[in-house]
Structure 1
Amino acid sequence: MKEYHITSNDSGQRLNKFLGKTVPLLSGGQMHKYLRLKRIKINGKRTEASYKLIAGDVVQLYLNDSYFDAPQEEDAYRHISHPRVRVVYEDSHILLADKAPGMVVHADERGGTDTLIAHIQAYLYQSGTWEPSAAASFAPALCNRIDRNTGGIVIAAKTAEALRILNDRIKSRELEKRYLCVVHGRPQPAEGLIENYLRRDETRKQVTLHSTRVPGAKTARTRYRTLASSGRLSLVECELLTGRTHQIRAHMASIGCPLLGDGKYGVNERNRPYGEFGQALYAYSLSFHFQTDAGALSYLDGKTFTVQDVPFVQKYFPEYHL
């Protein structure tokens, strides 16, 4: 018999969801069978799959060892001895990390485990702020993601409560994200709003822009502002009013100013003289503007966090200060 003591990180979810995470070898049919046979109990009593767990509950599983002893792939964070996490801000609920260009946030099709979330989990585990055994179904998780070659702020939730709140606030557009980019040319006008429809091509891993709505396309809106220009390059700040795949890259290319280093939406011949082969794009600023009750995260309302050290700004516009 195994017991799981429910903490605040595991509370609020249905029992069947909890079991799906903690005992993945237990099928749905077997779960319902063992519920009927009282081999799965809550606090020593018969229960239902729809029961919502609360802190203090004890989940008791009278199941064969084979459900628990099957070989499992070790968690990636346990293999990281020196976590690479550049902390912008941290408290008991969240961690804001400055992701380096070239690092993936989650495992991609290449299947590697050297990911931002693995390094964040290793950092929290080694610092003693996260104990995996204390929350059977929860692990620190990312609330947003950015492309491999884009750097900048990524939000990690350290508690299940923070993850639920932030996911809701992101969906309702209560977080403001600003990006810095270096583009070829000088945007005309110097600032403005780009608004059209964006459709993602999963086969080509690329997006196309359309002036009218077409099947599969979504509204895409970017506000941009030129901060400085030097020679054939400009430093531009972009604010995402919608969060679509490759939105800034496609939008800036659409006005004749592709991002420096972007071979997908630009032209590599223009990038080659600079030796840049990854887009010069950085999620440098994050602001919280809550319009609804954010519960335990209400203290973040009105706060802005920025990355001051953006490599391509120092390289191409050293006189400009963020």
Structure 2
Amino acid sequence: MLDISILYEDNHLLMVEKPVNIPVQADSSRDKDLLTMLKEDLKVRHQKPGNVYLGLVHRLDRPVGGAMVFAKTSKAASRLSDMIRRQTIERRYLAVVHGTPKLKKAELVHYLYKGKRKNQVFSVSPNHSNAKKAVLDYEVLASKKGMSLLSVNLHTGRPHQIRVQLSETGHPLFGDQKYGQHLTVPGEQIALWAHALSLEHPVRKEPMDVQSLPPNQYPWNLWRDMKRS
């Protein structure tokens, strides 16, 4: 039995809680990936012969957990991909950062460039030939013990976007081994969680909202009274 929480499922959609430290799709590590696991599970649960279709329409970084949506039909995949392109799917994250941002609420705009050699993303000038605009807004929900809990709303889907943009403000994510090395202890788990997805059902056109809460462990458990909202 697959040990991955299913948040919602129908004939067109599969929404799950991605576990941390599992790649979304096959990569050079050759570790078992989420897409393959879900396809195998669908094949068994629904007794499907042959190959199982499951469309990947967005991604989460390997160390990040939380809510993801997959398409079970090509029609749903096409429409979800279009929603992602038009930025009509609301993707909300919870993040724990070092320090307390000066502004309780703010929109961050950066131009990002992904270096291929080390799979690292850099904030660059808007005039950089390969720069891509990255936009998010955040709200500080609470602060405690030199850290802050943020709600982050992602407007664009650039690689490592939240991690890089928050690091650029001087408040890197807790446990970010790549963009907050000077404040991170080796082995710490990054404190970034895909908390909620809000979208229009690609076929029924009904509004949908699914939520996932981070695990009850440090540093998330500094805010034990965190509720679904």
TM-score, normalisation: structure 1: 0.66
Structure with greater strand share of residues: 2
The structural deviation recorded for 1:144 is 1.3
Work out the CA distance in 2 between the residues paired with 1:85 and 1:118.
13
- State the match for 2:90 in structure 1: 176
Answering whether residue 141 of structure 2 is matched by residue 227 of structure 1, we say yes
Work out the CA distance in 2 between the residues paired with 1:191 and 1:247.
18
SS in 2 for 1:162: helix
- State the match for 2:33 in structure 1: 115
In the superposition, relative to structure 1, how do residues 116 and 180 fare at CA in structure 2: closer, same or farther (>3 Å)? same
Answering whether residue 45 of structure 2 is matched by residue 131 of structure 1, we say no
Work out the CA distance in 2 between the residues paired with 1:311 and 1:282.
12
In the superposition, relative to structure 1, how do residues 156 and 241 fare at CA in structure 2: closer, same or farther (>3 Å)? same
- State the match for 2:70 in structure 1: 156
The structural deviation recorded for 1:276 is 5.3
Alignment check: 8 A CA contact 2:136 2:153 kept:
yes
Alignment check: 8 A CA contact 1:175 1:288 kept:
yes
Alignment check: 8 A CA contact 1:140 1:156 kept:
yes
Structure 1 gap ranges (5+) = 1-81
The structural deviation recorded for 1:234 is 0.5
The structural deviation recorded for 1:308 is 3.3
Structure with greater helix share of residues: 1
The structural deviation recorded for 1:306 is 0.7
Structure 2 gap ranges (5+) = none
Match of 1:213 among 127, 130, 148: 127
Answering whether residue 209 of structure 2 is matched by residue 304 of structure 1, we say yes
Alignment check: 8 A CA contact 1:184 1:258 kept:
yes
**Runs of 4+ with >6 A deviation:** none
- State the match for 2:222 in structure 1: 316
Q: Larger relative CO (CA 8 A, sep 6+): 1 or 2? A: 2
Identity %: 30
- State the match for 2:190 in structure 1: 279
Aligned residues: 227
Work out the CA distance in 2 between the residues paired with 1:89 and 1:309.
18
Work out the CA distance in 2 between the residues paired with 1:279 and 1:213.
31
Q: How does 1:22-171 map to 2 (within 5 A)?
A: 82-112=1-31, 114-128=32-46, 131-133=48-50, 139-171=53-85
SS in 2 for 1:261: coil
Alignment check: 8 A CA contact 1:101 1:151 kept:
yes
**Residue-by-residue CA offset, 1:94-124 (whole Å, 9 max, x unaligned):** 1101001111111111223x11112211221
